[in-house]
Structure 1
């Protein structure tokens, strides 16, 4: 039964990923049909992510009152209805209106499921969970590209994705009793694992101080800010860059962006197996370096095919970073503060998704979308720098804790 619940959680993350990548893939066609300026996509994205921030900050209270299963069901229903609204929307105003429930629906379920898996399951399950988000994020542009190619219609693409979401809503409705039945017995072994892995992190007086004052927390938040800034920026503006700068047809550009999300998906699936051999910190560093190399390929004046390679490399590089950083939270900062810090991390992550893509869109509207690859390189470099500084802080803290332990034994 616990395995069946895990399958339900994976399905919920497919539904979470489906809408995330569609707007960027469809925007080159939507912009023409609606007569909207380029930066409108960034503002729509900001509205969606803003709703996600609000619901994620309130998720702790909501989850405690209604439970993860009910929150997941209601949130998925909200996103399905919002996507149906996108299909019927006659103007940009209505898109903004339906963007609000689309964002609100995503935030609570994302925070709830991430905290549930980080607390109750091992690292490979977290990677596979986000791999299934990638399945949804990959399918979104593929579905949209199919309708753009065959019908030159973005509306029907949104309708199809909405129908898929409603089917998921039905599954979640029938699965509601399952959450209460398997929740309690699934966490025993993992809690022992977390307790033993966080002895160093919780040593000392950190239990009595504000989570934001713990050494390294702000650097971790910075890493999440730039990670989500990169992921969202590539997903939103990748198609526009390929169409306007590389002269790639809109349908082909949408497919290439789906390969980017495919890289994230496949990378996270593979990462789930690699976690048996390599630690989270090593995987985070390797992913950041690979993503940086892929971003540099986008900057260099190579033929368009190299852009496809660059998109896939960035996706593969980003794959392990987010789930590994989330799963590392109890180890980095101790179990006592992990739930609170997890909430902070999700809120800051959504802040990066909210403001960085629109900022690039605003600058691009004043200059050129050609700045896209340079911004991607800058964001990844900033993420790598903050992550490496955090590793140094944690290493120093670990060394001091071992000295304190040795002194107390003597």
Structure 2
């Protein structure tokens, strides 16, 4: 029973990743077909992330009332409908309209599943599950590149991914009785005070969660990391086209190298995550991303360092997200973890909301060459905030 539920959670993580890279890989063609400037990609992602912030902050209430299984199924259904809406949109304003359910569908399920896994599974499982997010996010650029190359257009890619999401929704709805049985059985959880987290205690308010020492630091680190991730996903293909002269179909495929690095890195991290610990994974991940960005920035006549840099940046990014989430019950207590992870998701999507369009505005003034330097600043912020949190948590009590 527990193994079957784990397989379903794997499928849900694939569904979380599937839509995330479509806009970035398809935008070099989409903006021309829709007749809007290239910087307008940030508007769509801002709307999506705004909806995700709202549903993330509501995740604790929703999960307490309806359960993780139902929240997951309904959220994936919302995302599926939005992707099909994208696929049949012929104008920019329609994309903006469908971006609303797209965002609302992502936040609550992200927070609910991440807290469930953080409480019930070891660090290696968190990394492997998040590698399945990378599987979904890596598949979609190839779908986009294939449909563009075949002359079917970007809309066919959205329709195809929307169909996959519908199939996953059916699986999740069929699994609802299984979630109920597992909840009653209460499997062994990863943290000693996890029973308190599942007890029908008082709601952990936003004010109370934010008042916990160190929460602000981890929110800033999460903001920075997710800003790096989403800015790279959204703008890497456009950077390759504009600065490296690569054709759009090839750039859509090469843009997937970052996501392939994340996917492979999370799979590999699972084998040594329990040994190294979350803090080491976060620190090493940020440093590796910085190395990858240096390679991307090198002004060399060959594209090989740039492509290698995308892979290295992806490998470095791999353990950061799962390690931050998995460490939350340990750092702040299992009773507070659902509320704090919900706020972490909101901080993550705030970074996703603000920083890619900010880069779009900045690049329209400076040029796309600034892409790797912009990301280096965010990487430095994430590394510093996570190290400050480590010092706070390890400092002896006064």
> 1:152 Cα deviation (Å)?
5.3
Q: Deviations over 1:19-57 (max 9, x none)?
A: 011100000000111111011101100011111111111
Summarize the alignment of residues 176-195 of structure 1 with structure 2, pairs less than 5 Å apart. 176-192=176-192
What is the deviation of 1:329? Answer: 0.9
Deviation for aligned residue 1:193:
7.9
**Pick aligned residue for 1:217 from 204, 215, 218:** 215
SS of alignment partner, residue 255 of structure 2: helix
Deviation at 1:349? 0.9
Q: Distance in 1 between matches of 2:315 and 2:261?
A: 5
**Distance change >3 Å, CA 189–CA 118, structure 1 → 2:** closer
**Residue in structure 1 matched with residue 129 of structure 2 by the alignment:** 129
Q: Which moved more, 1:339-348 or 1:86-95?
A: 339-348
The C-alpha deviation readout for 1:87-128, integer Å capped at 9, x for no partner, is: 110100100000110111111111110111111211111111
TM-score of the pair, normalised by structure 1: 0.91
Aligned partners of 1:295 and 1:376 also within 8 Å: yes
Q: Mapping of 1:352-391 within 5 angstroms?
A: 352-391=351-390
Cα shift at 1:71: 1.2
Contact 2:119 2:189 in 1 (8 A): no
Report what 1:393 is aligned to: 392
Q: Does 1:160 align with 2:160?
A: yes
Q: Do the aligned partners of 2:293 and 2:310 also contact (CA within 8 Å) in 1?
A: yes
- 5+ long unaligned stretches in structure 1: 196-208, 402-410
* Partner residue, 1:33: 33
Match of 2:145 in 1: 145
Superposed CA RMSD: 1.5
**Contact map agreement 1:53 1:351 (CA 8 A) in 2:** yes
Q: Distance in 1 between matches of 2:64 and 2:212?
A: 25
Please give the alpha-carbon distance, in whole angstroms, between the structure 2 residues aligned to 1:14 and 1:331.
Answer: 26
Secondary structure of the 2:181 match is helix
Partner SS for 1:151: coil
Partner of 2:243: 245
CA offset at residue 194 of structure 1?
A: 6.4
Aligned to 1:232: 230
Partner of 1:205: none
Q: Does 1:299 align with 2:297?
A: yes
Computing the radius of gyration from Cα coordinates, the structure with the larger value is: 1
> Residues 60-75 of structure 1: matches in 2 within 5 Å?
60-75=60-75
Spell out, residue by residue over 1:280-303, the C-alpha distance to the aligned partner (whole angstroms, 9 max, x if none): 111111111111100111111122
- Describe the SS at the equivalent of 2:276: coil
Task: Return the alpha-carbon distance in structure 1 between the equivalents of residues 155 and 339 of structure 2.
Answer: 40
Distance 2:168 2:6 in 1: 15
User: Aligned residue for 1:120?
Assistant: 120
Residue 202 of structure 2 aligns with which residue?
A: none
Kept after mapping to 2: 8 A contact 1:263/1:319: yes
Q: How many Å separate the matches in 1 of 2:74 and 2:210?
A: 31
Q: Aligned in 2, Cα 1:91/1:278: closer, same or farther, shift over 3 Å? A: same
Cα deviation digits, residues 196-234 of structure 1 (max 9, x gap)? xxxxxxxxxxxxx93323332211111001000000000
Q: Equivalents in 2 of 1:311, 1:291: separation in Å?
A: 9
Q: How many residues align?
A: 386
Mapped to 2, the partners of 1:224 and 1:147 lie a distance apart of 34
Deviation for aligned residue 1:189? 4.3
Tell me the secondary structure at the aligned position of residue 214 of structure 1. coil
Q: 3-state SS of the aligned residue for 1:78?
A: helix
Q: What is the rounded CA distance, in whole Å, between the counterparts of 2:169 and 2:343 in structure 1?
A: 28
Counterpart of 1:57 in structure 2 is 57
CA distance in 1, matches of 2:28, 2:357: 16
The whole-number CA distance in structure 2 between the counterparts of 1:5 and 1:310 is: 37
Give yes or no for contact 1:24–1:239 (8 Å, CA) kept in 2.
yes
| Kept in 2: contact 1:291–1:380 (CA 8 A) | yes
Match of 2:48 in 1: 48
Query: What is the alpha-carbon distance in structure 2 between the residues aligned to residue 173 and residue 189 of structure 1?
Result: 24
CA contact (8 A) 2:193 2:334 kept: no
Give the match for residue 350 of structure 1. 349
Q: Which moved more, 1:363-372 or 1:303-312?
A: 363-372
Q: Which residue matches 2:21? A: 21
| Residues 144, 154 of structure 2: 8 Å contact kept | yes
